[in-house]
């Protein structure tokens, strides 16, 4: 499979590294990279890109099978709208900056018969995967997530802390609790753009509290889940899972490699998608609902009208 990476910032370089490994494993044939910065393209070559371009239209001529969009969030929609006409896509989270853009892209992809995946890479975190296995079909009583740390780079590239960090945990919560009505019980949003957020939600009968912030020197990525008879703490940063105080064995894997392998296998028809455009839209709809002050987000209605 030939793969194009658009944007050679930190996340784009991560994708190039992972794609290099997948080429060694036989999943990838050729790797292309696009960036307007020629210095970054030199880095892309060092990371194993076969061909590099400053103009995405030149790369399209080589007919890549999959395009990975790793540009700043504000550019996701424009780049994806152009590329979806030519190839399937993996878009780094959030899918787009605005829900209306995501819905328009969804309509376009469906009309063209294209597959679009969203890079909620924490779905492939081994601690979260182990947690899913442990919880199985049980419904939690309470969940809490904390995702904090210093901001690296320009906040304008990320939109706000809910689009950058909080959306990860919203997606994980929706993956654990398959509830389509999200009630926002309370929220504290600080900064412009928002740099710290505390949000309490109800996912059906499950109470979920989220804290996301750029205003800490320490980095924490933690998801806790309370069942009637068990308590879990998933350390997503260190890939560890604790049940009732006992540390469980977790098979450590590279979650970006796992995500890309999964996408390729879905496109080959040998796996069903774990995270696709609809999941990305649902997580974005919750974020937009929180920011706009809505008391309830009906996720069925978000996609049901299309």
Per residue of the chain (306 residues), give pLDDT as tens. 999 999 999 999 999 999 999 999 999 999 999 999 999 999 999 999 999 999 999 999 999 999 999 999 999 999 999 999 999 999 999 999 999 999 999 999 999 999 999 999 999 999 999 999 999 989 999 999 999 999 977 777 788 999 999 999 999 999 999 999 999 999 999 999 999 999 999 999 999 999 999 999 999 999 999 999 999 999 999 999 999 999 999 999 999 999 999 999 999 999 999 989 999 999 999 999 999 999 999 999 998 866
- Per-residue confidence (pLDDT) for residue 152, from 0 to 100: 79
Nearest residue to 288 (alpha-carbon basis) of 182, 206, 149, 191: 182
Give Cα separations from 23 to 10, 11, 12, 87, 204 (angstroms): 20, 18, 16, 19, 43
Query: Is there a contact between 236 and 223 (Cβ–Cβ < 8 Å)?
Result: yes
Please name which of 50, 64, 89 lies closest in space to residue 2, comparing C-alpha atoms.
64
What is the percent of the chain where pLDDT is above 90?
Answer: 95
Per CATH, domain 3-120 is 3.30.70.260: no
Specify the length of the chain in residues: 306
* Contacting residues for 201 by C-beta, under 8 A, at least 6 apart: 173, 182, 183, 184, 185, 207, 208, 209, 210, 286
Report d(CA 297, CA 301) in Å as an integer: 9
State which CATH number among 3.30.360.10, 3.40.50.2300, 3.40.640.10, 3.10.20.30 fits the domain covering 122-252+276-304. Answer: 3.30.360.10
CA Rg, the chain, in Å? 19
List the domain boundaries for the chain: 3-120, 122-252+276-304
Inter-residue contact 119 to 67 (CB < 8 Å) = no
pTM (2 d.p.): 0.96
Q: Partners of 256 in the beta sheet?
A: none
- List the one residue out of 263, 269, 276, 277 whose CA is nearest residue 22: 263
Same fold flag, 3-120 and 122-252+276-304 = no
**From CA 43, how far away is CA 24, in angstroms rounded?**
20
CA 5/CA 16 separation, integer angstroms: 7
């Amino acid at each position: 499979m030939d793969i194009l990476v658009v944007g050679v910032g930190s996340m784009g370089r991560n994708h190039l590294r992972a794609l290099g490994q997948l080429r060694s494993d036989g999943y990838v044939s050729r790797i292309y990279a696009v960036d307007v910065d020629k210095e970054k393209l030199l880095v892309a070559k060092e990371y194993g890109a076969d061909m590099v371009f400053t103009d995405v239209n030149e790369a399209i001529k080589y007919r890549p099978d999959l395009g990975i969009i790793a540009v700043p969030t504000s550019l996701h929609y424009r780049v994806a709208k152009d590329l979806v006409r030519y190839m399937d896509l993996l878009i780094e989270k959030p899918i787009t900056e605005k829900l209306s853009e995501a819905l328009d892209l969804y309509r376009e992809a469906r009309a063209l018969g294209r597959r679009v995946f969203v890079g909620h890479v924490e779905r492939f975190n081994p601690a979260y995967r182990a947690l899913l296995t442990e919880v199985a079909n049980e419904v939690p009583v309470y969940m809490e997530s904390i995702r904090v740390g210093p901001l690296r780079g320009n906040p304008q590239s990320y939109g706000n802390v809910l689009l950058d960090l909080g959306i990860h945990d919203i997606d994980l919560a929706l993956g654990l609790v398959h509830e389509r009505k999200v009630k926002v019980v309370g929220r504290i949003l600080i900064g412009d753009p928002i740099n710290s957020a505390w949000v309490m939600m109800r996912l059906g009968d499950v109470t979920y509290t989220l804290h996301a912030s750029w205003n800490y020197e320490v980095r924490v990525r933690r998801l806790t889940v309370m069942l009637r008879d068990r308590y879990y703490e998933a350390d997503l940063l260190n890939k560890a899972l604790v049940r009732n105080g006992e540390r469980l064995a977790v098979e450590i894997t590279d979650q970006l490699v796992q995500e890309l392998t999964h996408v390729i296998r879905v496109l080959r028809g040998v796996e069903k998608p774990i995270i696709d455009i609809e999941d990305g839209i649902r997580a974005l709809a919750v974020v937009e609902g929180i920011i706009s002050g809505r008391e309830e987000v009906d996720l069925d209605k978000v996609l049901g009208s299309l």
